[in-house]
Amino acid sequence: MEPASAKLIGAGLAAIGAGMAAIGVGNVFGSFLESALRNPGAADGQQGRLFIGFAAAELLGLLSFVVAMILIFVA
Amino acid sequence: MAEAGKVDPMHQFTIEPMFGTDHWEIAGYSIPFTNSALWMAITTVALFLFVWGGMKRQLVPGRWQMAVESMTSFVDNLLAANVGPAGKKYVPYIFSLFMFILFANVLGLLPLMLVGVHPFTFTSHFSATGVLAIMSFAIVLIVGFWRHGFHFFSLFVPHGTPLWLIWLIPVIELVSFLVRPFSLALRLFVAMMAGHVLLEVLSSFVIDSMNSGALWGTVVGLPSFLLMIAICALEILVAGIQAYVFALLTSLYLNDAENLH
């Protein structure tokens, strides 16, 4: 396989990571809403933790974007 | 990568010297006044005007004062919830950080191209966000060693660590501690860059499909255009969330430095 096409295939494979991070982020907010609707009084106090979980899940998806960008534009 | 006539999604991040300052240099290093520096200055001025307009100290606040006060009390509550009473002294830093990043993100999204100005999001550059992250990390280190001395290293051995894991946990904690500035900077820079690249790619869909005829313009261009509008709304949300996450994580790290575990 030519290196140029291998790079593009690798960048495409890195997009799987973005989709996986989408599952993760959806899971964070989904679980939060599910429990926030059960106990709305406690929901506001947990928003900090909500965004920490969101940030952790999102970072891993962004890393796969970085991998794709490096493969396309740098490597 | 991009051939002639194609939209290059990375071109918008090009740093260019402005106002003919490209020959400025100190000790052989070129230090022109770039578009990045220009937009940092614009962000600072906008932030200054925003806060200055709300400093009238009226007993019954007007709209502007209310806006500024709600931002300061937001940061105040953030620190009170995450650091406790010791967090009061960090309100100026976290407020500046949060508002600077928020203003930078939002100013970079403004559709100023309509009046011929190219808005530049300097938070989409690792060098800019890296300096912000290093500042936060340095404050954590200075405060931690200042307050606790070498006892600060107990951060790497959380309470209740089993004795047979004492060789492993500090290593993991040390790595996760050292990775903090990178994750802080990387998250902000990649989130902003990804959004802008996405908008540019969608706009290239619209332009190229319109150029290849009315049929493709309707089938591909119109949905892409509608998606672009939705993504723009999402980007405004992301601009706010990323600024908030940066401030939140900085305050969490400050909590580690102030109160250990």
Give the tens place of pLDDT for each residue, B241-257: 899 999 999 999 998 88
Contact B191 A62 (CB under 8 A): yes
A3-74 maps to CATH 1.20.20.10: yes
Residue B3 counted as domain residue: no
Residue B99, in any domain of the structure = yes
Extents of the domains making up chain A: 3-74
- Under 8 Å CB pairs connecting chains A and B tally to 39
Tell me if chain A has a CB within 8 Å of the CB of B10: yes
* Among the partner residues A51, A59, A65, nearest to B183 by beta-carbon distance: A59
- Cβ distance of A66 and B187 shorter than 8 Å: no
8 Å CB contact of A59 and B78: no
Q: Would B44 be classed as within a structural domain?
A: yes
- Chain A nearest CA to B191, separation (Å): 7
Residue-level pLDDT at B201: 85
Evaluate whether B126 touches B183 at the Cβ level (below 8 Å): no
Residue B38 has pLDDT above 60, yes or no: yes
| pLDDT tops 90 at residue B3 | no
* The predicted structure's pLDDT at residue B101: 93
Q: Is B215 part of a structural domain of the chain?
A: yes
**Considering the domain boundaries, does residue B17 fall inside one?**
no
| B1 with A48: Cβ contact below 8 A | no
Query: Which of the two residues, A65 and B58, has the higher pLDDT score?
Result: A65
Cβ count near B99 (within 10 Å) = 21
More confident residue, A13 or B87: A13
Residue B2, pLDDT > 50, answer: no
Query: For the segment B40-63, what is each residue's pLDDT rounded down to a tens digit?
Result: 999 999 999 998 888 877 778 888
For residues B41 and B117, the model is more confident at B41
Range of the domain at B60: 29-110+123-259
Angle between helices B180-211 and B169-178 (to 10 degrees): 50
**Helix ranges, chain B (H):** 35-53, 63-82, 91-109, 126-148, 169-178, 180-211, 214-216, 222-259
Average pLDDT in the B233-247 region?
90
CA B226 → CA B191, B207, B230, distances in Å?
21, 14, 7
- One DSSP character per residue, B8-61 reads -TTGGG---B-TT-TT-EETTEE---BHHHHHHHHHHHHHHHHHHHT----SS-
Give the tens place of pLDDT for each residue, A25-53: 999 999 999 999 999 888 888 888 888 88
Q: How many domains does chain B have?
A: 1
Chain B within 8 Å of A51 (Cβ-Cβ)?
Answer: yes
Assign B6 a pLDDT band (cuts: 50, 70, 90): low
pLDDT at A23: 94
Query: What is the biggest distance separating any 2 CA atoms in chain B, rounded to whole angstroms?
Result: 72
In this complex, do A51 and B78 lie within 8 Å of one another by their Cβ atoms? no
Q: Residue B221: inside a domain, yes or no?
A: yes
Q: Six-digit token pair at B154?
A: 């107990």
- The phi and psi torsions of B26 (rounded to 5 degrees) equal -125, 125
| 3-state secondary structure (DSSP) of residue B99 | helix
Model confidence at B73: pLDDT above 60: yes
Q: What are the C-alpha distances in Å from B195 to residues B38, B191, B220, B242? A: 22, 6, 20, 12
Mean pLDDT for the stretch of residues B56-73:
85
Contact list in A for residue B245 (CB cut-off 8 A) is 51, 54-55
In a domain, B5, yes or no: no
Average pLDDT over residues B114-122: 81
Quick one: pLDDT at residue B93?
Answer: 92
- Residue of chain A whose alpha carbon sits nearest to that of B240: A51
In this prediction, residues B105-115 reach a mean pLDDT of: 85
The full length of chain B comes to 261
Report chain B's mean pLDDT, rounded to a whole number.
85
- For residue A4, what is the enclosing H or E element? helix A3-38
